[in-house]
Amino acid sequence: MATRIGIITAGGDSPGLNAAIRGVGKAALARGMEVIGFRDGFRGLAEDSRLRLDRRALAGILTTGGTVLGTGRDKPHRMEIDGHLRDMCGVIARNCKRNKLDALVCIGGGGTNKNALRLIEQGLNVITLPKTIDNDIALTEATIGFDTALGIATEAIDRLHSTAHSHHRIIIAEVMGHRAGWLALGAGIAGGADVILLPEIPYDVKQVAAAIRRRKSHGSNFSIVAVAEGAVSKVDATEFESAARHKANAKTQLERQRAKTQLTALAARHSGNTLRLSKQLEELTRLEARVTILGYLQRGGTPSAADRLLATRLGTMCVELINDKVFGVMVAARGDSAKPVPIAEVAGRLKLVPPNHPWIESARRVGTSLGD
Ligand code: F6P
């Protein structure tokens, strides 16, 4: 009987997902395997919502954004079904067996790897592909979607220059990235931002204002600030750390609950961080400031050539691994090649920007302020 592969895309969408589906699908069909897609991430596996991925379904999707399978942030062990949270891991395992799947390919980010591990514990042959615009997955040099998002954010910063310059304003561009600063750092450097603020390097708003005033004193009375959505001030970072410590060291249920409530309150306050930063900079520099939140534009549209190439490389390598019966691994990008790494070593680990990363050093060398 032909080998049967199930495939899902899970977590936030990112450009290049369809190229990855096509890479897996075409390579599998070429080997005489069958491919079944499941809709909307882990939910499609739980609800057995299928889509046959034959030649016709895979045609013409290399260049398209989004995912033809749909995606979602459902977790197999805590899925909302009819208004109740249910553990669907067993149901998913049964559905995979009923569909006679020899392997399940999960294309996703950090959350997907954690969820994949839960399905491995159910005895499924899982293999993952790394995708996220955040570039924050451990043990892979690249993730599908990052290059396209980097291009979009860079172009946005390019365009903000002329308007900032014309109005003599500070323009703050908020860049996605969750708790990692790769996207803001890369786009900030490539787009020539004057200040780049990252989650990994808590900033001092007075230092940011000083950098902008320095530019003004040299005749440049406008500035571009690229701020990662997860960037925090030094003051807020201390509060977050203290609440996290309290939660980790809590001796009673009450202490733990208090720390969790404090963390939730801090996170809620942080959601308005970029707007607050804009007000603070106006007060400290006496320049007008405006905010542009790039948001979901960074995830949409046509994938770049580099993302199509990466998705095709990793997707086709995934089928080679399935053919060799190598399971429980993520297909990681290593230079021009790909390497299987245990999902158990990836799940729960974030790849953050090291403070001495060469990109940071380059940014500092061209005079960019990191706000520290
Ligand atoms: O992980 C990709 C990402 O776009 C992050 O940069 C961002 O923090 C998050 O997803 C947004 O999530 P959602 O799609 O659930 O709003």
C-alpha distances in Å from residue 236, one per residue of 169, 212, 231, 241, 257 = 26, 22, 10, 9, 20
Residues 6+ positions from 1 with CB-CB distance below 8 Å: 100
Q: For the chain, give the number of residues.
A: 372
Ligand 1 neighbourhood includes 134 CB (under 6 angstroms): yes
Q: Which atom of ligand 1 is nearest to the CA of 299?
A: 4
* Confidence (pLDDT) at 97: 97
Ligand 1 neighbourhood includes 299 CB (under 6 angstroms): yes
pTM listed for this prediction:
0.96
Number of neighbouring beta carbons within 10 Å of residue 214: 14
Residue with tokens 């690229």: 226
* Confidence (pLDDT) at 140: 98
Q: Is 372 a catalytic residue?
A: no
Mutate to test the pocket of ligand 1, among 74, 174, 178 (most ligand atoms within 8 A of CB): 178
DSSP 177: -
> Considering only CA atoms, which residue is closest to atom 9 of ligand 1?
178
| 69: amino acid identity, one letter | L
Query: In angstroms, what is the span from residue 304 Cα to ligand 1's centroid?
Result: 19
Ligand 1 neighbourhood includes 145 CB (under 6 angstroms): no
Tens of each residue's pLDDT in the chain, 372 residues: 899 999 999 999 999 999 999 999 999 999 999 999 999 999 999 999 999 999 999 999 999 999 999 999 999 999 999 999 999 999 999 999 999 999 999 999 999 999 999 999 999 999 999 999 999 999 999 999 999 999 999 999 999 999 999 999 999 999 999 999 999 999 999 999 999 999 999 999 999 999 999 999 999 999 999 999 999 999 999 999 999 999 999 999 999 999 999 999 999 999 999 999 999 999 999 999 999 999 999 999 999 999 999 999 999 999 999 999 999 999 999 999 999 999 999 999 999 999 999 999 999 999 999 999
Q: Which atom of ligand 1 is nearest to the CA of 296?
A: 4
Query: In angstroms, what is the span from residue 284 Cα to ligand 1's centroid?
Result: 31
> Cβ(230)–Cβ(174) under 8 Å?
no
Residue of 13, 40, 74, 134 marked catalytic: 134
CA 12, 105, 16: angle at the middle one, nearest 5?
A: 45
* Confidence (pLDDT) at 144: 98
> Cβ(353)–Cβ(360) under 8 Å?
yes
Dist. CA 133–CA 147, nearest whole Å: 8
Query: In angstroms, what is the span from residue 228 Cα to ligand 1's centroid?
Result: 12
Query: In angstroms, what is the span from residue 264 Cα to ligand 1's centroid?
Result: 18
* Confidence (pLDDT) at 12: 97
- Strands 84-86 vs 79-81: parallel, antiparallel or unpaired: antiparallel
* Confidence (pLDDT) at 365: 98
Which helix (DSSP H) or strand (DSSP E) does residue 172 occupy? Answer: strand 169-175
CA 25 from chain centre, in angstroms, equals 24
* Confidence (pLDDT) at 124: 98
CA 357, 362, 364: angle at the middle one, nearest 5?
A: 100
Helices assigned H by DSSP within 181-304: 182-190, 205-217, 234-249, 253-270, 273-285
